[in-house]
Amino acid sequence: MTYKMSISYEGSRYKGWQRLKTSRDTIQEKIEFVLSRIFECSIEIHGSGRTDAGVHAYNQIASFKAERVIECEWLKKEMNRYLPEDIVILSVENVHESFHARFNAKKKVYTYQVWTKETPPVFERHFVYDIQSKPLDQDLMKRASKRLVGTHDFKGFSTDKTKKSTIRTIESIEFLEEDRVLKIIVTGNGFLYNMVRIIVGTLLEVGYGIREAETITEVLNSGVRSQAGETAPAKGLFLTEVIY
């Protein structure tokens, strides 16, 4: 039987999604631990992709296979009973045996939250990047972001050390402001390690007026990481949606 889960988590306490040999503090490990107890055998899950240490998810998708058939609604409740309170299973469903959360993912949506209020965040402080009321020209950022949309080699916007292709397609970068929280919403077919955070860090430098928009095209052409902006902090980033 193949199971598909939708998961929400606060990443603050974790070393990221991906299971590690050196730490038990990963989201994958916590979920596999509980599933293996429920199914009474070792269960390996496949996330739609990794999220870095400190990054959150409104809606991460993972799949796994198990011999036993367990009713999905009961399974969801049982998992939520035993998972730590910063990881919640939103839904469980049975899917076709060919389904794989990573291989079948067509698009992903990430949302980065920038705090633009003068007073620091209290209740939101683990979920936003507080730029400490530095003046931000959002129009400049919006115009600069258009240079990133499309199919490009994003090597310069990544700390990936893989030798695989670094070509990805960004479908859109949208800007939304709600109650002085600026949301930068990036939709694409796949993302390299740290890619959204480096894109946001670079766009913020454009918004502060300390970087020219043209440099974005230069980084795309050169593929040199050090020419891009700083990596924006993990706590502002959410994996918002995975589209199949």
- Our CA angle for 149, 150, 153, nearest 5°, is 100
The CA distance from 129 to 92, in Å, is: 32
What residues numbered 133-162 form the site for a copy of itself, per CB under 8 A? none
Residue 178: CB atoms within 10 A of its CB come to 8
Does the CA dihedral 139-142-145-146 come out positive or negative? negative
Going from the C-alpha of 147 to that of each of 44, 143, 151, 170, the distances in angstroms are: 39, 8, 10, 10
By beta-carbon proximity to a copy of itself, the closer residue of 91 and 151 is: 91
By annotation, the residues acting in catalysis are: 52
In the complex, what is the shortest distance from the CB of residue 7 to a copy of itself, in angstroms, rounded to a whole number?
9
Please spell the DSSP secondary structure of 88-127, one letter per residue.
EEEEEEEE-TT--TTTT--EEEEEEEEE--SSPPSTTTTT
4 in contact with a copy of itself (CB under 8 A): no
Binding mask 167-206 vs a copy of itself (x if CB under 8 A, - otherwise)?
----------------------------------------
Residue count at the site for a copy of itself (CB under 8 A)? Answer: 18
* Residue of 5, 45, 55, 87 interacting with a copy of itself (CB under 8 A): 87
- Which range in 4-12, 101-109, 163-171, 229-237 contacts a copy of itself by CB under 8 A? 4-12
125 in contact with a copy of itself (CB under 8 A): yes
The CA distance from 29 to 148, in Å, is: 34
Binding mask 41-80 vs a copy of itself (x if CB under 8 A, - otherwise)?
---------------x-----------------------x
Under the rule (CB under 8 A), what is the footprint of a copy of itself?
A: 8-10, 56, 80, 85-90, 119-123, 125, 127
